[in-house]
Structure 1
């Protein structure tokens, strides 16, 4: 594999070479190469010693009021909501015919705001983020400009059969 073939787009380095280039690149450039090798920060977080999680519990949303919807009948007691904060990323995935953002690792994307969701809806809050979808090919299930939650904790392809997934392609970006 020569650098000139890589520059022309004729042949990309193997994952092993990308990892080596990342090791040589040092702290500032390592993730550029490691992402192309298929590594993601979420993969490393699963095997590293526990750190403070990226999610926030309901105490962070103390200023929010909890409303209980219903018929107005008596007998309902107010339960404290257990919420998690899910970042809405400044990236979008494109459906068929639309290009998504070129970002390879969602954990590197900046958040434009946070969305509070009940903890029961989000089993893996440390690995969950939200992003927008561009295009109409998933309508009516996912309309243009919809916000979807992405749980990046599952990376085993066999466990993702019959699921809606976000994938990355070098030419089309996130889709």
Structure 2
């Protein structure tokens, strides 16, 4: 007998729970529902309601939260707002853990530093000295490393292919503000898989050559680099743009 294919929402919830290493009862407690509901969701017997999808999205954090927020029927502007809240929630879960400070690690010791951080559930990711623009592109030197940023391992799927960059400008405000730090995963570069995700893009030629942070959207067959701040205009992504990677984590203190 052919195995019944589970609905997408069922697979998504199971995958999220496994990635967070939670039991069904623990996930239910996190989102404030009866423990009996989670098995029903994962087996496709019952679909979560709007409120449950929102709570699951908050637990998931970006970028996985997009799937659950969209299932809840939220508008794009509401999703952006919830993403900011979800990011704060993810960081608050790990902020209180005891972590031995990692201040400045020489380049030839970075891998060792990362292994050391992994022992307590964190990874040390190099922070580039030059900031990336949330506005007009800026030139950055990828060889210049200022220090390492300690990030929860659960937020960084490919730590050896991830760098941190400081934000300069306000085109992604209020989600990203001047001085925030973002972690960029260079493994995740497939445009088709990154719709509605925050990405870092390098413009290769012209007066605007440099690196910038934007949302990646799609209109028909055209990819669009969209700012969060409506004072800035979106622009088409062309062959002169090189997608560096997806923003998988960010942190900063709102002014």
TM-score, normalised via structure 1 length: 0.50
Q: Does 1:167 align with 2:204?
A: no
Query: Residue in 1 aligned with 2:116?
Result: 60
Aligned partner of residue 145 in structure 1, secondary structure: coil
Q: Distance in 2 between matches of 1:123 and 1:157?
A: 18
Q: Distance in 2 between matches of 1:55 and 1:161?
A: 32
Aligned partner of residue 120 in structure 1, secondary structure: helix
Report how far residue 163 of structure 1 moved: 0.6
- Alpha carbons of structure 1 residues 118 and 128: separation in structure 2 relative to 1, 3 Å: same
Greater relative contact order (CA < 8 Å, ≥ 6 in sequence)? 1
- Alpha carbons of structure 1 residues 162 and 56: separation in structure 2 relative to 1, 3 Å: farther
Query: Residue in 1 aligned with 2:55?
Result: none
Aligned partner of residue 167 in structure 1, secondary structure: strand
Aligned partner of residue 115 in structure 1, secondary structure: strand
Report how far residue 82 of structure 1 moved: 2.1
Structure with max Cα Rg = 1
- Alpha carbons of structure 1 residues 125 and 59: separation in structure 2 relative to 1, 3 Å: closer
Instruction: Show structure 1 runs of 5+ residues with no match.
Output: 1-53, 63-79
Q: Does 1:138 align with 2:138?
A: no
Query: Residue in 2 aligned with 1:101?
Result: 139
RMSD value, Cα:
2.4
Query: Residue in 2 aligned with 1:158?
Result: 192
Q: Distance in 2 between matches of 1:101 and 1:90?
A: 11
Query: Residue in 2 aligned with 1:32?
Result: none
Aligned partner of residue 136 in structure 1, secondary structure: coil
Q: Work out the number of aligned pairs and report it.
A: 100
Instruction: Give every structure 1 segment of 4 or more consecutive aligned residues whose post-TM-superposition deviation is greater than 3 Å.
Output: 54-59
Query: Residue in 1 aligned with 2:152?
Result: 118
Instruction: Show structure 2 runs of 5+ residues with no match.
Output: 1-109, 213-255
Q: Does 1:92 align with 2:131?
A: yes
Report how far residue 119 of structure 1 moved: 1.3
Does the 8 Å CA contact 2:114/2:125 hold for their aligned counterparts?
Answer: no
Instruction: Render the CA deviation track for 1:59-103: whole Å, top value 9, x for unaligned.
Output: 6359xxxxxxxxxxxxxxxxx62221100111221123x341255
Does the 8 Å CA contact 2:163/2:183 hold for their aligned counterparts?
Answer: yes
- Alpha carbons of structure 1 residues 134 and 59: separation in structure 2 relative to 1, 3 Å: closer
Q: Distance in 1 between matches of 2:145 and 2:197?
A: 25
Q: Distance in 2 between matches of 1:124 and 1:102?
A: 22
Does the 8 Å CA contact 1:81/1:118 hold for their aligned counterparts?
Answer: no
Relative to its length, the structure with more strand (as a share) is 2
